Amino acid sequence: MITSDYKPILKRGVEILPAKAQDKEVILLKDNEGITNQVLVMPVEMMALIQFFDGQNSIKDIQNHILKLTNQLVSEYEIIEFVKHLEKANFLENEQVNEIRKKIYEEFKNSNIRKAIHKGLSYPENILELSSFMGKFLKIEDIKFPAQKLIGAISPHIDIIRGGNVYSKTYSELQKSIIPDVIISFGVSHKGGVSPFIFTKKEYETPYGNIAIDNDLYMKFKEALWYEADEEEFFHKDEHSLEFQSLWLKYIWRDKTPKWLPVLVTDFERFCEKNPPSKIEYIEKFFNSADIILKELVNRNKKVLILAGVDFSHIGPRFGDDIEINDEVKKKIEVYDKRILNLAAELKADEFFAAVSQNDNETKICGLSATYSALRFIKSINPNAKGKLLDYSHSDDPLGGFVSFASMIF
């Protein structure tokens, strides 16, 4: 029973998004942890209550805070009913949510497969429907004698329906290239993590079949780390940035798809502020070890592909910007993005990172650290490689703003 002494805690992983419904300002509550699939829509005024759901304030405290803020008295009954509403939807921390969380974690931990969690949501689950969906962006060709050898590629990780035309530029070139012996793919850990790099030994499921892990390579990188490689592999469970790459890889190569090593990258900026990651001893030590591993593969004539699934600038109200979106703003962001993409094409990883971090990543490039990692790995394979920008675009966000993304090959 909830009384005036109860101290509600908003569940971790809940994202609060601004939106409009019937021309009225509302907020959306979305669970990014996977405990519930519900999305709650409520008046924007409810933020005044939710901000105090931190486990420090009782119902009575919250009532007093609202009175001071708004000069309006909200009854304890109204606050308790709202708390019950969130609790019923599993948006508050409690014993039931913890039990669900434990069950989900154990199921993932005990499985050898990272399930394609976005199938049926971001793309069709049915093979025929999926092939039709993907075929709108890229037709499969039977390339008898592929001529080009690619060692690196940058692809978007935005929803395929929004970025498919740019995804297709990357994967069209991969389809025409010599199939590598192994793929190392860097994605963005959108939900965080303490570890700089998050590995997993789980096969990635796709409707076209699973992509197997290169276990030998996994063990080599595991030995190069100063922490357990898969300690936070749970972050792979719901992350889309690598799931979408696995789908495209299996779409173009099917049973010929090589083994891969999927790696989620967290935010390096918290370690190095405005300095490049090469100035952080333990991160640079890892890249030096990776350099030895990659050069050994090259010396054995192994064809390695480094693939980054990244997006670039995130601009607008959806991403916390109090700015009116117009063509002038979009052009300004395009100029900025293409300037840093030019640095990426030159494999100037430190300059790329510094160009973004020196402005405190004001355009919110979520793929900063993952792209940096990919550039370092590509340079280890061939320090003279050059990138070619195939396409650059953006997609408007339905909640206000836009996201930019690009296609590049090396």
* 151-179 pLDDT, tens digit each: 999 999 999 999 999 999 999 999 999 99
For residue 37, the model assigns a pLDDT of 87
Q: Comparing C-alpha atoms, which of 318, 323, 310, 394 is closest to residue 356?
A: 310
Q: Which of 172-176, 184-188, 330-334, 395-399 has the lowest mean pLDDT?
A: 395-399
Q: CATH fold of 14-103, please?
A: Arc Repressor Mutant, subunit A (1.10.10)
Q: Comparing C-alpha atoms, which of 173, 147, 152 is closest to residue 381?
A: 152
For residue 345, the model assigns a pLDDT of 98
The answer to whether domain 114-409 has CATH 3.40.830.10 is yes
CATH 1.10.10 placement within the chain: 14-103
- C-beta atoms surrounding 125 within 10 Å: 12
For residue 293, the model assigns a pLDDT of 98
CATH 3.40.830.10 placement within the chain: 114-409
Give CA separation, 24 vs 38, 41, 397, in Å: 21, 11, 18
List residues bridging with 42 in a β-sheet.
27
Q: Comparing C-alpha atoms, which of 370, 363, 283 is closest to residue 319?
A: 363
The residue-averaged pLDDT of 69-81 equals 91
Residue 62 clears pLDDT 90, i.e. is over it: yes
Distance CA 331, CA 410 (A): 26
Strands 197-199 and 182-188: unpaired
For residue 326, the model assigns a pLDDT of 93
* 272-298 pLDDT, tens digit each: 877 889 999 999 999 999 999 999 999
For residue 269, the model assigns a pLDDT of 85
